[in-house]
Amino acid sequence: MTTVPHFPFAAVLFDFDGVLVDTEHIAHGIWLALLAEQGLHFERQAFVDRVTGQTLGNLYAELERDFGFKRTDAFEEEMTRRISAAFAEMPPLPGARQTLELLQKRQVPFAVASNSEHQHLRPKLRLAGLEELFGEHVYDPSYVGGRGKPNPDLYQYTAQQLGQDITRCLVIEDSLPGVRAGAASGAVTWGFSGANHTIGTERLRQAGASDLVASHAELQEKLGLRSGPRQ
Of 42, 67, 86, which residue is a domain's last? 86
Residue 188's Cβ-side half-sphere holds a number of Cα atoms within 13 Å equal to 12
Flag whether 113 is in a domain.
Answer: yes
Flag whether 127 is in a domain.
Answer: yes
Pair 16, 127 in one domain: yes
Render pLDDT for 148-170 as a digit per residue (tens, 0 to 9): 999 999 999 999 999 999 999 99
Instruction: Give the domain CATH number at 114.
Output: 3.40.50.1000
Pair 41, 128 in one domain: no
Say how many domains are in the chain.
2
Instruction: Give SS3 for 139.
Output: strand
* Helix residue ranges per DSSP H, 54-189: 56-67, 73-86, 96-105, 118-127, 131-134, 153-161, 176-185
CA-to-CA dists, residue 117 to 13, 49, 62, 148, angstroms? 18, 20, 17, 10
Q: Taken in order 32, 57, 182, 205, is the CA torsion positive or negative?
A: positive
Of 36, 61, 86, which residue is a domain's last? 86
Flag whether 214 is in a domain.
Answer: yes
The yes-or-no verdict on residue 1 having pLDDT over 50 is no
pTM greater than 0.85 (yes/no): no
The C-alpha atoms of residue 95 and residue 221 are separated, in whole angstroms, by: 12
Pair 147, 44 in one domain: no
Between these two residues, 41 and 15, which has the higher pLDDT value? 15
| Cis peptide, bond prior to residue 150, ω within 30 of zero | yes
Flag whether 207 is in a domain.
Answer: yes
Partners of 11 in the beta sheet? 169
Closest CA to 49 of 150, 173, 176: 176
pLDDT score recorded for residue 230: 44
Q: Are 9 and 164 in contact (CB under 8 A)?
A: no
Of 59, 86, 113, which residue is a domain's last? 86
Q: How many CB atoms neighbour CB 230 within 10 A?
A: 12
Flag whether 228 is in a domain.
Answer: no
Pair 125, 207 in one domain: yes
Flag whether 4 is in a domain.
Answer: no
pLDDT score recorded for residue 228: 46
DSSP notation for 40-73:
----HHHHHHHHTT--HHHHHHHHHHHH-----H
Render pLDDT for 71-97 as a digit per residue (tens, 0 to 9): 888 988 888 888 777 776 678 999 999
Flag whether 6 is in a domain.
Answer: no
The parent domain of residue 129 ranges over 11-22+91-222
Pair 60, 100 in one domain: no
